[in-house]
Amino acid sequence: MENSQPSSRTRTRVNLTDTRVRNLKPTRSLIRIWDNHVLGFHVQVTPAGAKSYRVQFQRADGRKVSVTIGSVEAWTVDKARGQARALRQLHEAGRDARAFMKAERTGNDLASLVTIWRADYAPRLKLSTRLSYESILKTTIIPELGPRLVKDLGFEDVKGLYRKVSRKTPIQANRAAAVLSKLFTIAEREGMRPDGSNPCRKLERAREKPRDQLFSAAQLEAVETGLTSLVRRGKLDQAIADLIRFLALSGLRRGEALSLAWKDIDMERNTMTFVDHKTDRDGTKVLPLNIHLRSILKRRAAIRLSNFVFPGRSLDRPFNGLGKVWERVLEASELVGLTPHDLRHTFQTTSVELGYPSAIGDTLLGHSLGRIRDTYINLGTDGILAQASQDTADWLQAAMAGTNPKPGVKISKKKKLGKILA
């Protein structure tokens, strides 16, 4: 049923209030509701549901000109009415109100807000977070909303973008919404939008189910078989195969392993150090090197060509492109649906199954030490952490080598493999 509201042709004037505007519903045609306080001031509602405040003037030649003040989400009626009154004064003084608004808006579009973020806010973020933001901005947000004025963007715009991205990748849509929400918060801080006008706060995001995939012993063996086959056939560089093994036998995050530099490795102390990490508010992380990681590092050091342990084609940068390589590895291993992050999850789960407290597994994965510092006295890299890392890596390497170790049973000293994966 059609709404019984004034159409665009009806010039009934009413006392516009925030409640009245909020209750307006879209119809099949454009509607305008005119204010009875300021001549030409009105709220416009499109069939898609977008609401905006505008003011209309009549020029000397009789032509009518409308100027958009801003979206209903970003402006209260009183503030929009005050802006309309100011624009009318400019118009009656003989100035071009539309040109004035255009000049005022220069530098206030979303792309300009992103420039502010890059200059003043991005440097405070961790490199991995900053790169993630940049990827979402370049591929999703700027192409869709970049030219739009920050103050004019409302809930319908946010919902439209979210719906479009969700059709292909719901999780990416959630990430885009989070980045956009952060930008709107900055816009309020920078005076580009009124306080409390962030339209993302109304958005209902899709629930993300936590991943709980683990590699079985057979799947770990398949990965190692696939890596060996690809290297032998010249389809994969040995260094990248070692990178994947390093991930499996350390539980490191992908970014931590990729950015690992030789200056971070201390073979004498048997440690690897991380200054830039996800929990860097807790200071530098120092984690132990188990014997299997040491073997990989010695192999890489023998042909060291870069400051990075796993360099890319440009030797002054770490390797980039693990995603595509991983797809190749899965195909060679005849596996589907598993990710490099599942190797990390498998490392921690294996540690717990072998009898170590979950807090020890958390620490080996580089999580905060805060909650367990008072519980475990010896958390040095030559104490329980080192032993847990070694036992966990022993079990995982045994699985990769095809010996089918029993879940939750440590590899005995007599059965520990002397052969290092190659």
Residue 381 predicted with pLDDT over 80:
no
96 and 119 part of one domain: no
Amino acid at the residue 382: D
* Residues making up the chain, counted from first to last: 422
| Domain CATH for 132 | 1.10.150.130
Read off the CATH number of the domain in which 51 is found: 3.30.160.390
Which range has the worst mean pLDDT, 1-10, 56-65, 239-248, 258-267?
1-10
The pLDDT confidence band at residue 420, using thresholds 50, 70 and 90, is very low
- Give DSSP secondary structure letters for 224-269: HHHHHHHHHTTSS-HHHHHHHHHHHHH---HHHHHT-BGGGEETTT
Average of per-residue pLDDT across 277-302: 81
Residue 309 makes CB contacts below 8 A (sequence gap 6+) with 246, 260, 261, 262, 265, 297, 300
At 106 the three-state DSSP class reads coil
Show the tokens assigned to 262.
Answer: 């030789």
Looking at the structure, tell me whether residues 258 and 376 fall in a common domain. Answer: yes
Give the confidence band of 410 by pLDDT, cuts at 50, 70, 90: very high
Confidence of residue 13 (pLDDT cuts 50, 70, 90): confident
Q: How far is the CA of 197 from the CAs of 109, 181, 185, 186, in angstroms?
A: 16, 11, 9, 11
User: Above 50 in pLDDT, residue 377?
Assistant: no
Assess whether pLDDT exceeds 50 at residue 5: no
With a cut of 50, say whether residue 375 has pLDDT above it: no
What pLDDT, on a 0 to 100 scale, did the predictor assign at position 276?
A: 62
User: With contact defined as beta carbons under 8 Å apart, do 245 and 220 qualify?
Assistant: no
- Residue that is written with structure tokens 């991205």 in the block: 165
3-state secondary structure of 216: coil
**Domain identity same for 308 and 387:** yes
* Segments of 220-362 assigned E as strands: 265-266, 271-274, 285-288
- Average pLDDT value over all residues in the chain: 84
Cα(272)–Cα(260) distance, integer angstroms: 8
Q: Which tens digit of pLDDT belongs to each residue from 278-289?
A: 554 455 788 899
pLDDT, residue 7, reads 44
User: Could you tell me where the DSSP H helices lie in 273-321?
Assistant: 291-301
Is the domain of 121 the same as that of 99?
no
Domain boundary among 103, 124, 140: 103
Q: Give residue 340's pLDDT band: very low, low, confident or very high (50, 70, 90).
A: very high
> What pLDDT, on a 0 to 100 scale, did the predictor assign at position 109?
82
Looking at the domain assignment, is residue 3 inside a domain?
no
pLDDT band of residue 209 (cuts 50, 70, 90) is low
Report if residue 212 sits inside a domain.
Answer: no
Instruction: Report in angstroms the alpha-carbon separations of 307 from 312, 316, 333, 397.
Output: 11, 7, 31, 27
In a shared domain, residues 390 and 369:
yes
- The share of the chain scoring above pLDDT 70, in percent, equals 86
* Number of neighbouring beta carbons within 10 Å of residue 9: 8
| CATH label of the domain that carries residue 236 | 1.10.443.10
Residue 389 has pLDDT above 90, yes or no: yes
Query: What is the pLDDT at residue 414?
Result: 56
Q: Give the mean pLDDT of 168-192.
A: 89
Rounded mean pLDDT, 185-193: 87
- Which two structure tokens, joined as six digits, stand for 40? 């030409």
Domain count, the chain: 3
Would you say residue 219 has pLDDT above 90? yes
Q: CB–CB of 386/288 below 8 Å?
A: yes
Residues 6 or more apart whose CB falls under 8 angstroms from that of 382 comprise 270, 288
Query: Measured on CA atoms in the order 255, 232, 401, 419, is the torsion positive or negative?
Result: negative
Calpha distance 395→297 (Å, rounded)? 19
Count CA within 13 A, CB hemisphere, residue 132. Answer: 13
Query: Which tokens is 132 given?
Result: 């993630």
What is the distance of C-alpha 294 from the center of its chain?
33
Q: Is the pLDDT of residue 118 over 60?
A: yes
Q: The domain containing residue 305 runs over which residues?
A: 217-400
Q: Which of 334, 362, 332, 335 is nearest to 347 (CA)?
A: 362
More confident residue, 175 or 279: 175
Mean pLDDT for the stretch of residues 239-263: 93
Q: Choose between 391 and 358: higher pLDDT.
A: 391
